[in-house]
Amino acid sequence: MSEIKNILLVGVGGQGVLLASELLSDAAFKSDFDVKKSEVHGMAQRGGVVSSHVRFGEKVHSPLIPQGDCDVMLAFEQAEALRWLHFMKSSGVVIVNQRVWVPPIALMKGFEYPQDPLGMVQERMQRVLKINAQQMAEDLGNPKVENTLLLGTLSTVIELPVTIWQDVIRARVPKGTDALNLRAFELGLQSVTGEK
């Protein structure tokens, strides 16, 4: 059980969480691991809670990560990192995109977006990497590459060959955007190396 790598990708519908988890599971598959990936295609098209479990190793049974066994969480949004924190191993790494997405329901009485979700995550976890992927994607000229950028960051904490990541990105992103996406991946990768 211990040799299985458990990765949880979380965010808000419309952020590209599911495509990112497709790329991750493809990369693990192409690296000759057994892989399982699971998410529920629910009612929310946009703005709903999205989470995707990816597990890889020699032999994977459950497609869902048992609570407390998650090695790495990639959170596309701050409050979503907090929502799923109970899945984390105490020694796990949480990567938090600094983006804040307040749901419309927060405009109604009795619903409040947490004050400082990133701070709360940092209080509870020892290993937290933060990244301002939205800003970096905009600097690159396309806010849509936010998810590829975050995958670059993720690639620094899980051991899959960079060349396989690049192959998978080339194969899966829309035609004509592969150079941009590869640059975004590289930027995400370097942003963390710099911080360490």
Partner 1 sequence: MKAILSGNEAVARGCYESGLHIATAYPGTPSTEILENITQYPEIKAQWAPNEKVAFEVAMGACFEGARTLVAMKHVGLNVAADPFMSVSLIGAPGGLIVVTADDPGMHSSQNEQDNRTYAKFAGYPCFEPADSQESKDFIAEALRISIEYDVPVLYRMTTRICHSKGIVELGDRVDYPISGFQPDPKKFVVLPAHARVRRHWALERLHRLTEYAEITPLNTIETGSRPIGVITNGISYQYVCEIMPDVSILKLGVSYPLPMQKIQQFAQSVDQLFVIEELEPFIEDQILAAGIACQGKQFWPTTGEFTPDIVQIGFVKAGVLKETSAFVKPEEVIARPPIFCPGCPHRAVYVALNKLKATVSSDIGCYTLGALPPLSATDTCVEMGASIGVAVGMATARGSGKGIVATIGDSTFMHSGMTGLLNAVTQNAGITVVILDNSITAMTGGQHHPGTGKNLDGRSSKPVEFAKLCQSLGVDRIKVIDPYDLIQTQEVLKAEMETDTLSVVLTNRPCALYPPENRKKVLQVPFHVNTDVCIGCHACFRVSCPAISEADTKTKKGLTQSCIDPQLCTGCSVCAQVCPVQAIQRVNHE
Query: Quick check: 47 binds partner 1 (CB under 8 A)?
Result: yes
**Selected binder of partner 1 within 23, 75, 82, 118 (CB under 8 A):** 82
Comparing C-alpha atoms, which of 54, 52, 10, 9 is closest to residue 33? 54
Tell me the number of residues near partner 1 by CB under 8 A: 52
Q: In terms of CB distance, is 44 or 179 closer to partner 1?
A: 44
Cβ nearer to partner 1, comparing 5 with 36? 36
Measured between alpha carbons, how far is 69 from 106 in angstroms, rounded to an integer?
Answer: 31
CB-CB contact of 130 with 77 (8 Å): no
Give the C-alpha separation, 173 to 153, whole Å: 18
49 in contact with partner 1 (CB under 8 A): yes
Residue 91 touches partner 1, criterion: CB under 8 A: no
Residue whose CB is less far from partner 1, 172 or 183: 172
Site for partner 1 in 102-131 (CB under 8 A): 102-108, 111-114, 117, 120
Position 167 contacts partner 1 (CB under 8 A) = no
Taking the C-alpha atoms of residue 112 and residue 16, their distance in angstroms, rounded to an integer, is 25
Q: How far apart are CA 80 and CA 167, in angstroms?
A: 29
- Cβ–Cβ < 8 Å for 181, 146: no
Contact residues: partner 1, CB under 8 A: 1, 12-13, 25-26, 29, 34-49, 60-68, 79-80, 82-86, 102-108, 111-114, 117, 120, 143
